[in-house]
Amino acid sequence: MAFFNRPHPNALPARTPDRPHGLQIEPIWFEWLALGGLLLFGSWLLGMRGVWALLLSSDPTGITLVIIVVFFASTLWCGARSRELQRQRRLLHAVATSTSGEGWAAEYLAALRARPVDDNAPLDLLVELAQAPHHTAWWVNGIQLKLGLLGKVIGFSVLALQIGNIQSFDASQSQDLLKSLTQGLGIALLTTMVGLVGNILLGLQLTRLDRYADAFVADCQRAGLHIGATPKP
């Protein structure tokens, strides 16, 4: 039976179906949904434990509330951005398997076929669409940390003012004195803690978006290699 299974010397090798290299679509949108679910569960748990009420009541400056609002608004933006990047990745897959399509990748490949005077212009425009919005998001992420440091400065300033207003120490008033002193210290520590936690969590999301955008740009360049290899007329 081995004789019949032996391939003919002149037979052509079996061709495997072509698969676009590097176009595996990572589910970044579902990753963000999973993270969003964890954040919602954590927020609900903190609310049940009374942590939110403690944070907001311990900070009369309102900086903690501003940091929380900035973090959740930025997180929602990351969700919308991850959905858009995944959609563009699917459109790139469609463009790679056909001659027509839409999206950033289709515009990039069409610009390469148009033979622009500036060879770097198509790539610059693609990078502007895929990566430029993340720079503003990173700036907002830094704002959280700066707001936390601002709250720290304000808290220690309040603490210093309260210490400076002490005229004499009376043992009978020690409880009220400690309560007034810990108010400034609470502002300093709580705002710094909330700013650091928000900075870390938002930084994780933005880092994932940056890596996904880098992979998308690399796949677009890979799809346009055969276009760039064609000599200009």
Q: Of all helices (H) and strands (E), which one includes residue 70? A: helix 63-96
Question: What is the arithmetic mean of pLDDT over 184-206?
Answer: 91
pLDDT in tens, 28-78: 999 999 999 999 999 999 999 998 998 888 888 899 999 999 999 999 999
pLDDT in tens, 82-136: 999 999 998 988 876 665 678 898 889 888 888 888 878 889 999 999 999 999 9
pLDDT in tens, 132-175: 999 999 999 999 999 999 998 988 888 777 777 666 666 556 66
pLDDT score of 198: 95
**CB-based burial of residue 114 (10 Å sphere; 0-12 exposed, 13-18 middle, 19+ buried)?**
exposed
List the chain domain ranges: 61-226
Could you tell me the two tokens for 138?
A: 């990173």
**Cβ–Cβ under 8 Å, residues 188 and 160:** no
Q: What is the DSSP letter of 6?
A: S
